[in-house]
Every structure is written in structure tokens, then in C-alpha cells.
Structure 1
Amino acid sequence: MELGSMVSAVRSKRVLLGDEVRPAVIVIKDGKIHQILSDSDFSGDVAGEVLDVGDMVVMPGIVDCHVHVNEPGRTSWEGFWTATRAAAAGGVTTIVDMPLNSIPPTTTLGNFHAKLQEATGKCFVDTAFWGGVIPGNKLELRPMIQAGVAGFKCFLIHSGVEEFPHVNDCDLHRAMKQLQGTGSVLLFHAERDVQQTTEENGDPCQYSTFLQSRPDDMEIEAIRTVTELCLQYQVRCHIVHLSSAKPLTLIQEARQAGAPLTVETTHHYLSLCAENIPAGATQFKCCPPIRGSVNQEQLWSALKAGQIDMVVSDHSPCTPDLKKLDNGDFTEAWGGISSLQFGLSLFWSSASKRGFKLSDVVRLLSRKTAQLSSLDNQKGSLAPGYDADLVVWDPEREFEIKEASIYHKNKLTPYLGVTLQGVVCLTIVRGRLVYREGSFCPEPLGKHLLIPIQPNCEAQ
């Protein structure tokens, strides 16, 4: 079957349907799942070719709702062409692009239109977009909702780039008033500056020096603010990239009190730990930081208990010079980790050893992420009427991450040389074969996903 062609049906001995893995045939019509049949019920009467994948696992494509594509403006860091190819190679069929690190950031209606124009004709998978909340842009929020952003992100601490300043309490109250009644969601980079008790004079090439500069208290303080706002305004709130397990009690208490609050963690917090980061290895730097192994196990327990809703990449690449590998200074290096292509394999390599099932993978990497982005009526599930977005993969097979097989624009990643379990073989987006074993369809077939306006958004 040619890359880029429309698939009529996919047959496998291992199709994940609900919590069950069983033989089935997924019949596709007009890019949607038309019906799901048992092998014996399938007559073979479809217009085109049936793709038989043997006993490879067929699942809904991954929805990665935390990706920094950085285009326009910082396209040397990443871009839609490279990011979405990497996504397709990792079984990711939908990404949601973050509003910052591109110039201009997605903080006005005009900037959103510029972003859409820039992304046109460059996406190999479907792409939705977050807007941003910064000081003074409250009157841009509703127009951006009406134009189709999936929601908004803000920072409670310096974002790392000047054009996306962080918000104070007044800005937050103004934004919350705009978002009330819209059904939209506000995402928080939840760290706040706190009074440091220790002197910061350690060796900047030691990871422990950087880790001490971003203690758990910074996340606790920020999340206390988020939970109060969420309860007060009853606007959907979401904590991005939770690295510390300590604020989970606060989150649970707020949810029990009726806060519409969700939380994600990332592949790097689940796969990497502070004790194993070598001196000067700034490819491991991100904010909030990778913490210790005890904390990591607490994050896994929270995932298992349903206290953490989803797992994302927070793919945040940059050019190699910004990582300061020449002097290994963690305090100066850009904070961000590239992993968009490897999320499924990273997660499965660790999760399978901890008793997680394939159905957990779909819940945490596809269904809940689609829900957060208001895409859960078309993405993240294998059911009739949903987009035929499928990942076909071998969860038993292993592979080593080598630079030559990385499709991100910049290849620097802490995972180089790591062996993972779970090889993505085919990726299908809306019924079209976009990726197969290292090859891509000749042209980008992804589309922009604009979120329909919630009914009471215009009324207020």
C-alpha cells in the first residue's frame, strides 16, 4: 500500500477495544471509523485495500497536547514540517501547539492567524493550537476562543522568553472573568518564586545545584494559587508538566471540593531521575526540574491511582548552542527536552514493568489528552464516527535511539543511545497512511483543528 493512500480497512489479531485486546477489522469510510467488526463478520466487501497487520497492536493514535513547535520566529529550534514528521514516526496523530517560543506568541487574534498561515501545508499530522494569557491581553481571549484555539496557557514565573511575560494575581482574575461561561480551559506553568533558604553558590555544572534552585515548594505555592482560582471561578484549569509529587494532596483536596482541575506529567519525569544525571549534561535540563527517584515512584503511583490524568511530551527543543554543552552550565542552559517522537515507547518501556496495560496507555496518552483539548468527540478513541487515527505498533520489540533515526529538527536529547520497548510500525491519520517503518507520505496531509465555540461563549 502506497504512503499517502486511503486505507479502507485495518485487520489485526490485537485491536484495543475498550479495555480488551481482540481480533477485529476496523472499516474506514471518508476518513472516519465506519464500523468495527469481528473477523468472522467481515465480508471483505470494501472499496479499497485491506491492510492486514498480523498480530501488531492497533490503537487510537496518540494525542500529544503539549508540544512547542516554535514556528514562526524560532524555526531554527523546530518547525511544523519537522515536528509533525517526528510525531507521525512516534504514532502521534494529533499535536496541540503551545503559544510560546514562537515569535510572535499566540497571544492575540492577529498572531493566531499568523500562526495558522505559517502552519498551512506543513503538517503531517493534525494540529490544534493553544492561545496564551499574558499581562494586558484579556480582551483578546474571547476572540481567540471564537477563532478556534483549544484553550490558553499562562506562566506564574518567568517563561524563559521575553515576549511571553508571566502573569500576576490581578492578570489571573481578569483572565478568569473572561473565560467564565466559555467552556475553555486555562493551563498553568505552576511554579512560583519562593524565598530560598539555602545559598545558591554550588557548582553550576552539577545537576544538584540546578535542582536546589527549583525546589518542590515552588510548585506547591503555585498550585495553591491555581486551586483557589479554580474553585472561585469554576473555570476549567489544568496544571502542565507536574514534576513534584508533593502538591498532589492539594490537587486532590481541590477536586473533592468541586474544582474542575486536571493535571499532567511528562515522559521525562517518569523516565529520568536526578541521581543519574551526569555533570554538565545540560540536555537533561527542563523546568520544573527532573527530581529524585523516590519522587518518580510517587508520580507512578499517582498515575496508577488516577490522581494524574495524562502524560505528554512537553517537547521543547532548541538549537544545540543554547544547551551550553561546551561549558556544561545548568544555570545558563536552555531548559527543555525533545521527546515528541518517542513518547509512546518511553511510556510503555517503564509502564509495562509497573503493571500498566495497553488500555492505560490509551487513556493517559490519547483519550484524556483529547478531552483536555476539547477534541474528544473526534480524537482519542476507536469507535464509529471518530477520525480513523490509528497507531500500529509492536509493544514487544526493542530499538535503540540513534541520531540518524530522529526526525526532530535538532537531534539533541537525553535519550540518545537508550534502548526502548515498543516500535511504531504504521501511523494512519484520518484513514491515510502517513508513516511506515521510517518512510513518510510524500506530502503533509494533516489539517488544522479549530475547536468549535461553546454555545454560551458569545452570549456573555
Structure 2
Amino acid sequence: MALGSLTVASRNVILPGYDQPQAATITVDVETGKIIDIQHEYLPVNPSGREDTKVRRIDAGDYFILPGLVDAHVHLNEPGRTDWEGFWTGTRAAVSGGITTVVDMPLNSIPPTTTVENLSLKRRTASGQCWTDVAFWGGVIPGNQPDLKPLVAAGVKGFKCFLIESGVEEFPCVSEDDLHGHMKELKDEPTVLLFHAELETPSSTSDLSHDSPDPTVYETFLNSRPEDMEVNAIKLITRLQEEYKSLRCHIVHLSASSALPIIQAARRRGLKLTVETCFHYLCLSSSNLLNCRPEFKCCPPIRDRSNRDSLWKALIDGDIDFVVSDHSPCVTELKKLDEGDIMAAWGGINSLGLGLSLLWTEGKTRNVGITQIISWLSEKTAEHAGLSASKGQLKVGLDGDLVIWDPNAEFKARQVSKELLHFKNKLSAYEGMTLRGVVQKTFLRGQLVYDQARNGFDELDPLGKLL
């Protein structure tokens, strides 16, 4: 039976090539899931007379129509650590915030995505559980060079590695010697190598001895991961790139603005280097973080207000390419909330579903408009993950992933609360904040997968595909 079509009209649609929202009417063929027509005018679509059950029409009025967001840095942790997060809960959280595609990191699931066999296990586990489309990053660890090309052929979007211990034993970090082998293997492949860019050196570790010994003080943790660790790592990465120039390299979750001159210089030399930062580095600062509050711990750490301002400038100037969540959850016990022990707590911030509102709320204080935000959260992230042929923009021929969004609404009860969080472990560094911008409906390939008006998911089904 044919699925029919979806037509949505609004006075405020984010279309490629425009720096302001435009009036437009978009039609999606739900059978193929593709956008088949865009009229560059607002055509009220409320039907007169009898409704055709195969044609869904929505008049969004002044609400904004956005392309589905692409979060290219998410830890869903299944299988193996499903009590931390899973495909069902993680993708529900994502779609509630207008995300229609996530790219899953190779850790902290057990086993990690470092072989084709492990990728196949993850895909089998995810099947039927996903409310968004899901793509996968592979992992680079010592000794898995022979697995890399088969993983590329199996569809991973690129590879993640650590230059410092990851925190889980099944995903060890790589040395410079290891990287030569991996980069030789990947240099002629259509892929990208992602780096957790922190590198311990004698100068960086020496700072640990004179810091406050109190593990509940945020400054203790901050001083244990100084900016030099990121600077040293990015120096190594760009030096390696000089030898393997055909391979694009990418810095995940940049927090240290002092590394930006190295990045700028590398790009001037023609190196293929891209960079992301995260919502928490753009919306929080260490000067406002309380002691005994491990929910703010992440690696690299949240730094001071001046650093945050420099990251914003770099993002606006294009030195940072886009923004991701790095949703890195764990069970509540691992956050050491009762002890307030920041040093011993798991490092990671839960934020799936909040990113658009976070960036919109903070961006408005910096005169950043919604078209720029959508570029950072959708178009650029889709390009990074090799998904531009189907995701990231409202364009004829691309997937009909779209979001109806109210930019003026505030979160219920004016604040972020546990009741609003759809991810599994409902602990967030943003709890209590007042955020603006609420997703009303999310469509995946023209089909409704989230409806704020009816408790989010009532009578809906997970329609996500594995990409």
C-alpha cells in the first residue's frame, strides 16, 4: 500500500543558500522518503473538503521548519554497557531534540567497533530499536590495522582513536608508532581519522603535584588536564599529517582555545584538518561550576569564560567547523554524586535532545542566527560523516527529515528537568537552566517520529535505519 506524501508549509524555512528563514512549502514522497518539491512561497495547505488519507498536510504558520539535525558524536554504548545508554533510549532522546541522524562512537560498547565482526554485532543489536537513522564510526586501537580497510568496505564513516587512555580497557590508546601503521593503511581510503586530542607529556603531568589535593574541587580536575595536553596532541597530529597528506584528520571535542593557532597554521599549509567542539564548551564555563558536582566532569574539561569566548569566535570565523553533543553517559553510581568526587567520577555529559536549544539560547546573546546554527548542527556534520548525499539540508532529492520548531517557547516549567530528558540515565549538567526553542514535531523521511503535543512518542514507532 502506498504511503502517500507529506506537505509542510511555513513562513520560516531554513533553506540552503539563504542567510535568513524563507517562506516555503515542502513536499516529501513518503514512499521513497525523499523531498520531491520545494515551492519558495508559503502556501497554506489546510485542505478544504474531504481529506485524502494518503496526503498529509501541515500548516506550520510562523513555526520554523528545520532540516533534521545530524549529531556526529554520540556514545550509545550498546551492546555491553546498555545500562549506561542504548539505541532505544538514546535515539528517542535525539529525535526529541530534532536530531534525525546520529553517528555512534566505537566505544564504550563491549565489544568496541574495531572489527567487522564487532560492527555486525552492533548493527544486529541496533536493528529495530532506532528512532533516528544511525551510522557508525570505527575504532583505531593498537594492532587492528588489518581490520581498517574491511571496516571501510563495511560502511563505517571513519575511525576514532585516543592519544591518552580512554577510560575503558577494551579501547586502549595508540602511540605515535602505532599511528604510522594505521595512517599508512588509511591514507588512500575515502575516510577520516578522528582524534581524542589530549597527550600527556612530562610538562603536562608535572602540574598534578602542586594542585589542590581535594578531589571534590573542580579546579583540581581542571588542572589535571591542562590546555597543553591538547596543544601537544594537535602538534603531533599535524606533524603526522605532513607525512600522510591525503588523509583527512579531525579533532573531536576541542576545548582549548590555545590550540587554535596550530590548527590555523596547519590549514594554511593545506592540511586536511577539521575540528569540532561541543555544547558544554560553548554554554558552560569553569568559573560557574560548583565544587562537589561531578556531573560537570568531561574530558577535556570545561575551561574558563575567556576560553569559551575564544571558542565562539573560532566557530563564527570558521576555524571550528561544527558542534556536536559528545553525549557520553554512564550509570549514576559512576558519577560519584554522593561523594562529590570529581576526580574519581566518570567523565561525560549527557545532552542528547538539548543541543539545539542550548546553542539557540546562548547564540542569541552573541547575535548568532538560526541559519548559522543549523549549518553547524546539520549541514556541516552531515558533510563530516559522509552523509551529504541524503542528509543535512532541505533540498529536493535528499531525505525528508524535517523538524517543526518553536523558537520562542521555553522548556516546560521554564527549566530543564529530569521529566524532560529521554536518555536512560537522567542526569544532566544543564538541569535547572532555562532554555528557549522547543521541537514540536520531528519527521524522518516524511514520517512522524516525535510529537511534543502527544507526549512525544504515543502511538508512534521507531523507523530509523542503519546507514
- TM-score, normalised via structure 2 length: 0.93
Secondary structure at the aligned position of 2:392 is classed as: coil
Q: Does 1:349 align with 2:361?
A: yes
Map of 1:220 onto structure 2? 231
Q: Does 1:71 align with 2:89?
A: no
RMSD of aligned Cα (Å): 1.5
The separation in 2 between residues aligned to 1:311 and 1:325, in whole angstroms, is: 28
Structure 1 pair 431/120, CA: closer, same or farther in 2 (3 Å)? same
Structure 1 pair 167/7, CA: closer, same or farther in 2 (3 Å)? same
**CA displacement at 1:228 relative to structure 2:** 1.4
The separation in 2 between residues aligned to 1:282 and 1:118, in whole angstroms, is: 31
The separation in 2 between residues aligned to 1:167 and 1:326, in whole angstroms, is: 34
Runs of 4+ in structure 1 displaced over 6 angstroms? Answer: 40-46
Map of 1:336 onto structure 2? 348
Map of 2:269 onto structure 1? 257
Structure 1 pair 6/336, CA: closer, same or farther in 2 (3 Å)? farther
The separation in 2 between residues aligned to 1:60 and 1:226, in whole angstroms, is: 33
The separation in 2 between residues aligned to 1:312 and 1:387, in whole angstroms, is: 21
Deviations 1:320-349 (A, max 9, x none): 000001111111000000001101001111
**CA displacement at 1:192 relative to structure 2:** 0.5
Q: Does 1:152 align with 2:154?
A: no
**Quick check: 1:96–1:128 contact (8 Å CA) kept in 2?**
yes
Secondary structure at the aligned position of 2:310 is classed as: helix
**Quick check: 1:156–1:192 contact (8 Å CA) kept in 2?**
yes
Deviations 1:147-206 (A, max 9, x none): 000100000000000000000011111111111111200000000012234324521100
Q: Does 1:444 align with 2:451?
A: no
Map of 1:11 onto structure 2? 9
Map of 1:193 onto structure 2? 200
- Map 1:21-32 → 2, pairs under 5 A: 21-29=21-29, 30-32=32-34
**CA displacement at 1:225 relative to structure 2:** 0.9
**Quick check: 1:7–1:432 contact (8 Å CA) kept in 2?**
no
Structure 1 pair 362/318, CA: closer, same or farther in 2 (3 Å)? same
- Opposite residue 387 of structure 1, the aligned amino acid is D
Deviations 1:305-364 (A, max 9, x none): 111000000000000000001111111000000001101001111012211111111110
- Map 1:415-434 → 2, pairs under 5 A: 415-434=430-449
Secondary structure at the aligned position of 1:49 is classed as: strand
- Opposite residue 366 of structure 2, the aligned amino acid is R
Deviations 1:420-452 (A, max 9, x none): 011111111111110011322532100001xxx
**Quick check: 2:9–2:45 contact (8 Å CA) kept in 1?**
no
Structure 1 pair 275/392, CA: closer, same or farther in 2 (3 Å)? same
The separation in 2 between residues aligned to 1:6 and 1:179, in whole angstroms, is: 43
Map of 1:295 onto structure 2? 307
**CA displacement at 1:40 relative to structure 2:** 6.7
The separation in 2 between residues aligned to 1:41 and 1:340, in whole angstroms, is: 33
Q: Which runs of 5+ in 2 are unaligned?
A: none
Map of 2:188 onto structure 1? 181
- Map 1:23-102 → 2, pairs under 5 A: 23-29=23-29, 30-39=32-41, 48-102=55-109
- Opposite residue 13 of structure 2, the aligned amino acid is V
**Quick check: 1:231–1:258 contact (8 Å CA) kept in 2?**
no
376, 386, 389: which is aligned to 1:364?
Answer: 376
Task: Work out which structure has the larger RCO, using CA pairs closer than 8 Å and 6 or more positions apart in sequence.
Answer: 1
Deviations 1:190-228 (A, max 9, x none): 000122343245211000000000000000000001111
Secondary structure at the aligned position of 2:250 is classed as: strand
Q: Which runs of 5+ in 1 are unaligned?
A: 450-460
- Opposite residue 286 of structure 1, the aligned amino acid is C
Map of 1:317 onto structure 2? 329
- Map 1:112-191 → 2, pairs under 5 A: 112-191=119-198
Identical-pair percentage = 52
Secondary structure at the aligned position of 2:95 is classed as: helix
Structure 1 pair 53/206, CA: closer, same or farther in 2 (3 Å)? same
**Quick check: 1:7–1:51 contact (8 Å CA) kept in 2?**
no
Secondary structure at the aligned position of 2:354 is classed as: helix
Q: Does 1:233 align with 2:234?
A: no
Deviations 1:22-76 (A, max 9, x none): 2111011121111110347789999502111111000111100000000000000
**CA displacement at 1:276 relative to structure 2:** 1.0
**CA displacement at 1:132 relative to structure 2:** 0.1
Structure 1 pair 445/201, CA: closer, same or farther in 2 (3 Å)? same
- Opposite residue 55 of structure 1, the aligned amino acid is D
Structure 1 range deviating more: 391-400 or 334-343: 391-400
**CA displacement at 1:7 relative to structure 2:** 5.1
- TM-score, normalised via structure 1 length: 0.94
Map of 1:454 onto structure 2? none
**CA displacement at 1:280 relative to structure 2:** 0.7
Structure 1 pair 53/7, CA: closer, same or farther in 2 (3 Å)? farther
Secondary structure at the aligned position of 1:57 is classed as: strand
**CA displacement at 1:146 relative to structure 2:** 0.3
Map of 2:213 onto structure 1? 202
- Opposite residue 24 of structure 2, the aligned amino acid is A
**CA displacement at 1:17 relative to structure 2:** 1.6
Deviations 1:129-151 (A, max 9, x none): 00000000000000000000010
**Quick check: 2:46–2:58 contact (8 Å CA) kept in 1?**
no
Structure 1 range deviating more: 233-242 or 389-398: 389-398
**CA displacement at 1:389 relative to structure 2:** 0.7
**Quick check: 2:24–2:43 contact (8 Å CA) kept in 1?**
no
Secondary structure at the aligned position of 2:61 is classed as: coil
